[in-house]
Amino acid sequence: MERENQRVVLVTGASSGIGLACATHLAGRGFRVYGTSRRGTGGAPPGTMTGLGSVTMLTADVTEDHSVEQVVGSVLSREGRLDIVVNNAGMAIAGPIENTSIEEAKRQLEVNFFGAFRVCRAVLPAMRRQGSGYIVNIGSIGGVIAIPYQAMYSASKFALEGLSETLRLEVRPFGIRVVIIEPGDHKTGLTQNRQLTEMSGTDVYQESFQAALAQTARDEQGGPGPEQIARLLYRIVNKRNPRLRYTIGPGAQRAAVWLKRLLPNSVLEHGMRTYYGLGG
């Protein structure tokens, strides 16, 4: 068996969507893959191992320090090493900033940003000792270009950009490679599972909020499946020196990321208001 197919992988949020596609794709190529899910299977307690084809599933909640430490410890105890970590666990909250509570904002950041931060802290000692490893964070084009009425989601992904960039600088001397993948809209369960703030549909923002949310849903459900992200992940972890950022998704969205670097902000802002039906 080739060396890359003997490596041990941990994918958070692997029960559906991007995480499931990444976990099963790598497992299908012989990697020893562990995935995490907050709910687990059949009410299994944290750390319990269950089967998902050739992926070993572990119950874990990335918002809890002990749960993350327990899962990482379980993989290391069983395998003796951890070569690739994919921070994918996440959720999305939508609503006007004015009508978003502090508690709702904290919940969004707790999962998408601090969850990845916890996992990174938990796996780094083992990766440093073995002198190698890949940490791949699943960001978003929404972490490069803010999405209207999804401020907290974008904020969590913008924060993940900064964390990834800094971490890459700090751990490269130890042989650890840090990468952030920035997907555009893909067809996953995120559309159906998106949570709305409690006051999101109650006031003057209602019309533009519904228009923006409907456009987001159309883009997501009309986008490609997450399998192309899994194929990109496979290519990344087989590169000796991968880039920091990889943008993937519909061509127009990838072009918008490139244009943001070149165009005045007023031009991009006008395009965003028009596209999402915000007026003004």
Element (H, E) at 177: strand 176-183
Q: What is the pLDDT of residue 53?
A: 59
pLDDT, one tens digit per residue, over 196-253 is: 998 766 688 999 999 999 999 999 999 999 999 999 999 999 999 999 999 999 999 9
Element (H, E) at 158: helix 151-171
pLDDT, one tens digit per residue, over 131-176 is: 999 999 999 999 999 999 999 999 999 999 999 999 999 999 999 9
> In this model, does residue 191 exceed pLDDT 60?
yes
Q: Answer for the pair 181, 232: CB distance below 8 angstroms, yes or no.
A: yes
Show which residues are catalytic.
153
pLDDT, one tens digit per residue, over 27-67 is: 999 999 999 998 754 444 444 444 455 899 999 999 999 99
Rounded mean pLDDT of 12-31?
A: 96
Q: What is the CA 86 to chain-centroid distance, rounded?
A: 8
In this structure, the number of other CB atoms found within 10 A of the CB of residue 160 comes to 24
Question: Which runs of E-coded beta strand occur in 12-132?
Answer: 32-37, 49-52, 55-59, 84-87, 93-94
From 178, 187, 74, select the one nearest 136 (Cα to Cα).
178
CA angle 94, 15, 26 (to 5 degrees): 120
pLDDT, one tens digit per residue, over 258-274 is: 999 999 999 999 999 99
- Here the tokens at position 200 are 């999101």
Which positions ≥6 away from 77 have C-beta within 8 Å?
none
Percent of the chain's residues with pLDDT above 90: 87
Percent of the chain's residues with pLDDT above 70: 92
Q: What is the pLDDT of residue 47?
A: 44
User: What separation, in Å, do the N-terminal and C-terminal C-alpha atoms of the chain show?
Assistant: 60
User: Which string of b and e fits 181-218 if b means at least 16 CB within 10 Å?
Assistant: bbbbbbebebbeebebbeebeeeebeebbebbbebbee
Which CATH superfamily includes the segment(s) 3-275? NAD(P)-binding Rossmann-like Domain (3.40.50.720)
From 182, 115, 114, select the one nearest 145 (Cα to Cα).
182
Listing DSSP states for 241-267 in one string gives S--SEEEES-HHHHHHHHHHTTS-HHH
Q: What is the pLDDT of residue 203?
A: 80
Q: Which residues partner with 248 through β-bridges?
A: 183
Q: What is the pLDDT of residue 40?
A: 57
